[in-house]
Amino acid sequence: MCGIVGYIGDRDCADVLVDALSKLEYRGYDSAGIAVFDKGTIKVEKCKGRLINLVNKMELEGKPNGHCGIGHTRWATHGEPSDINSHPHGNKRVSIVHNGIIENYKQIKDFLIGEGYSFVSETDTETVAKLLDYYYVDDPIDTIIKVISEIKGSYALGIMFRDYPDRIFAVRKESPLIVGVGENENFLASDVPAIIKYTRDYYLLEADEIAVVKKDGVSIYNTHKEPVKKEINTADWDVDAAEKGGYEHFMLKEIYEQPSAVRDTISHRITDGMPDFSNDGIDMEQLKKYRQIFIVGCGTAMHAGMVGQYVIEKLARIPVIVDIASEFRYRDPLITDKDLLIVISQSGETADTLAVLRLAKEVNAATMAIVNVVGSSIAREADMVVYTHAGPEISVASTKAYMVQISVMYLLAFELAYLNGAISEEMCRKLTEELKSMPDIIKETLELKDTCSYVASKLMNAESLLYIGRGLDYALSMEGSLKLKEISYIHSESYAAGELKHGTISLITDGMPVIAVATQKKLIEKTISNIKEVKARGARVVLICADGVEVGEDVADYIIRLPQVDEQLMPMVAAAPLQLIAYYTSVLKGNDVDKPRNLAKSVTVE
Ligand code: M6R
């Protein structure tokens, strides 16, 4: 949420900041701004709306001219999107950009008003800028240390002091921030895609480490003002990974990257045909001993957890509780040191998921993180980390991250099941072999794109629709429905098919679309009965089922047939068509697919 960048070097700073921000717009896109040292003063340009509005504004009015500055793209928390509420905030002496939430901003603001300060915006950020100004005498590091000792909440801050035009300062807690290290130029960024064009090397800042970023070097201090020595990290993907590469949208590109993402994620975790997490440093013998497993995440990541729950319980016979992070953390959960918590997160920065991880650590539960972003907070804090290898996911709607998350869930389930004696070695090998073939199968399902686009054309004018399924198909329907509503803005719900007649079926009206997912042989008859019930009440049904399943052609108005694999693995087969249906519906409606309204990619606030 919110993207931060900073630059110091020989290039035109405004150009670099805008370019870097364009790679972070997925983090927030309701306003944008930059501050640049221009002839000894801090010159600020900012405005409401997408980054392009700022670019147009600067084209008309002239851009700040200099080589050192900070920039921001906003996802509003305090105060509506407006020119005034846009970052940077501050005054002539101090200018800042901020990602996070300052929880005690009201007290600080009241205090500063008492000290004679006035405020122009509704943001919490402006209080930090003014507090920096209040404490600033001549030493920025002392000032930052003082301010972070007083503010509460989450923050990643890029800071400029007028008296130090040859450097920018940075500090973070809870919200992510990296310092990019180039040749005679250095950077600040919320995420690697912003700087990958310029450098692959970066420092990860730990909580409350203060970075002083100059053209020819970066110094990092702790809160005692002692220098901190840090390892440089190197991103292992290149510029192309963060570009659209000829696709119209990142979402489509990412859907098409799923076969390779799955291959990259599972191939080095299979040895001699068996799952193998030893390279992740995971002791599976220990893992199977836990009393129960909790799987927690938000949104799509939680839906991947639902698939995990089904397959771990079914195959390994270990009880699994899956929950939404924002609920789990506040319900005094019955998790103990005898349990294992698995958190799932693409970004590794989701505030609620991170809070759950910390809560589990407090009670000494074992913690495992399934994370995509290397070095993210969740990855750093979990006892065990299983990195997914999806590469950068830029589109707000998560697709390839889901696919790799469930591929890890499968491998874990297979190994746990085998170690528990719940399945034979032969069965474990067979399932693992089938999982290995999934990249090719997913590729095959992508050939259904025209079918999905046709279905989308039939859905695009609907006001509301339902996704139904049972078992694994229900878990999958949850994800299909989220994908559709998030980018098409069509109201949709996912229901366990058998639950419909307990209330929800009253919503069915003539012509209402229902997407029925029925890939599980044992349950197909039951789901077909539910389809008949909704059809009898006027629903137009799209049935998604496996090839070879015998269903009368008149069961549904439209049938999408998928390659048949072991039915445990069918979510990996059915996910891409569901994503494509959502994608084409959004495109046909003329929506901004990659940046749907009101959303942001990485939800670093509660
Ligand atoms: O980065 P995370 O995986 O922790 O993010 C969790 C959710 O915010 C995320 O999956 C969200 O639901 C997606 N926008 C859905 O497409």
pLDDT tens by residue, 372-404: 998 889 999 999 999 999 998 999 999 999 999
Each as own residue / partner, the long-range contacts of residues 525-528 (CB below 8 Å, 24 or more positions apart, any chain) are 526/470, 526/497, 526/498, 527/468, 527/469, 527/470, 527/473, 527/497, 528/555
Rounded to whole angstroms, how far apart are CA atoms 528 and 536? Answer: 12
> Residue 97's beta-bridge partner residues?
158
Tens of pLDDT along 430-460? 999 999 999 999 999 999 999 999 999 999 9
Which pLDDT belongs to residue 223?
Answer: 97
pLDDT at position 26 over 90: no
Rounded to whole angstroms, how far apart are CA atoms 492 and 513? Answer: 10
Residue owning tokens 């940075």: 170
Atom of ligand 1 nearest to the CA of 602: 1
Taking the centre of ligand 1 as the mean of its atom positions, its distance from the CA of residue 392, in whole angstroms, is 13
Taking the centre of ligand 1 as the mean of its atom positions, its distance from the CA of residue 183, in whole angstroms, is 35
Which two tokens mark 358? 């910390």
- CATH 3.40.50.10490 range(s) for the chain read 245-436, 444-590
Which pLDDT belongs to residue 27?
Answer: 83
Contacts for 564 with CB less than 8 Å, ≥ 6 apart: 546, 547, 548, 549
Taking the centre of ligand 1 as the mean of its atom positions, its distance from the CA of residue 353, in whole angstroms, is 10
Concatenating the DSSP letter of every residue in 460-517 gives TT-SEEEEEESTHHHHHHHHHHHHHHHHH--EEEEEEGGGGGGTGGGG--TT-EEEEE
pLDDT at position 239 over 80: no
Place domain 245-436 in its CATH homologous superfamily.
Glucose-6-phosphate isomerase like protein; domain 1 (3.40.50.10490)
Protein residue with least CA distance to atom 14, ligand 1: 397
- CATH 3.60.20.10 range(s) for the chain read 3-241
Give the strand pairing for 340-345 and 293-297: parallel
Residue owning tokens 């305090």: 78
Atom of ligand 1 nearest to the CA of 299: 12
Rounded to whole angstroms, how far apart are CA atoms 33 and 288? Answer: 51
Taking the centre of ligand 1 as the mean of its atom positions, its distance from the CA of residue 324, in whole angstroms, is 11
pLDDT average, residue stretch 267-295: 93
Which pLDDT belongs to residue 534?
Answer: 94
pLDDT average, residue stretch 545-569: 90
Helices (H) and strands (E) in the chain, counts: 19, 26
Which pLDDT belongs to residue 5?
Answer: 97
Which pLDDT belongs to residue 76?
Answer: 82
Pocket residues: Cβ below 6 A from ligand 1? 298-301, 345-347, 350, 353, 396-398, 482, 486, 602-603
**Four-CA torsion 470, 473, 476, 481, nearest 10 degrees:** -60
Atom of ligand 1 nearest to the CA of 399: 16
Indicate if the alpha-carbon torsion angle 519, 523, 526, 530 is positive or negative.
Answer: negative
Smallest CA-to-CA distance from 404 within 433, 379, 435 is with 435
23 is an active site residue: no
Instruction: Reply yes or no: is the peptide bond before residue 275 cis, omega within 30 of 0.
Output: no
601 is an active site residue: yes
Contact call for residues 91 and 104 (beta carbons, < 8 A): no
Which two tokens mark 512? 């209402």
Which pLDDT belongs to residue 333?
Answer: 94
307 membership: H or E segment, kind and range: helix 299-311
Which residue among the candidates 48, 288, 400, 601 is catalytic per the annotation? 601
Which residue among the candidates 2, 68, 428, 545 is catalytic per the annotation? 2
**What pTM, to 2 d.p., does this model score?**
0.86
Tens of pLDDT along 313-333? 999 999 999 999 999 999 999
Tens of pLDDT along 494-503? 999 999 989 9
Domain 3-241 in this protein, CATH class: alpha beta
Atom of ligand 1 nearest to the CA of 378: 4
Tens of pLDDT along 60-91? 999 999 999 999 999 888 888 899 999 999 99
Place domain 444-590 in its CATH homologous superfamily.
Glucose-6-phosphate isomerase like protein; domain 1 (3.40.50.10490)
Contacts for 403 with CB less than 8 Å, ≥ 6 apart: 258, 261, 262, 390, 442, 572, 575, 576
